[in-house]
Amino acid sequence: MKGKRIFNSASVPSEKCIFCRIVRGELPSNRVYEDEDYIAFLDINPYSKGHTLVCPKRHGETLWDMGEDEIGGLFAAASKVSRAIVEATGSDGFRILQNNGEAANQVVGHVHVHVIPVTMENKSRFMSRMSVSASEMTALAKSIWESVG
C-alpha cells in the first residue's frame, strides 16, 4: 500500500482550506485552545454542546501526512482540551473521533480530531447534528478556554 492516497473530494490546497483559514484568522471561530502547533475550536454543527475540533496548524489532509511526533502532539492537545470540555459542559465522558478520507466521513480535508462530550442520559443516543445559538457558542468557548488553563 506504499504510496496509496486516500480519496477525499474535499482535498484543497492550504490557501483554500477552511481550517487553515481559521488558523490564519481569515475566518471566524470559537477558539477554545491554541498553542504554537495546534488549535481547537467549537464545531459549528456539533453532535453535542461543547463538540470541539482539534487540529494541527500545519496543513495535512490525513494522519499519513503527519510525523509520529505531530500525531502525538495532536492527541496530547485533544486530551488536554477534553478535560476542559468535560468540566465546562458538566459531561460524564467524551468521545474521540478521527476520520481519514471521504469513505470515513472526513468532510474537511485537514487532519482534525473531534472531542465530543457525552452525558449518561445520551450515551446510547445516535449521534446527530444539532443547532447551538451564536451567543451560547461564544459563552461555551469562553468557559472551555478558561478551563484549559
Crossing angle for the helix pair 68-89 and 134-148, nearest 10 degrees? 110
Determine the average pLDDT of the residues in 79-103: 95
Dig out the grid coordinates for 109 from the structure: 480535508
Q: How many domains does the chain have?
A: 1
Q: Flag whether 74 is in a domain.
A: yes
* pLDDT at residue 121 tops 90: no
Q: Flag whether 24 is in a domain.
A: no
pLDDT digits (tens, 9 = 90+) for 72-84: 999 999 999 999 9
Q: Which of 51, 59, 110, 112 is catalytic?
A: 112
pTM assigned to the model: 0.88
Instruction: Please tell me the predicted confidence (pLDDT) of residue 3.
Output: 60
Q: Flag whether 25 is in a domain.
A: no
Q: Flag whether 98 is in a domain.
A: yes
Residue 50: domain span? 35-122+129-148
Determine the average pLDDT of the residues in 101-110: 92
| CATH code, domain with 53 | 3.30.428.10
Active site residue 110: no
| Across 19-33, 97-111, 114-128, least confident range | 114-128
Q: Flag whether 26 is in a domain.
A: no
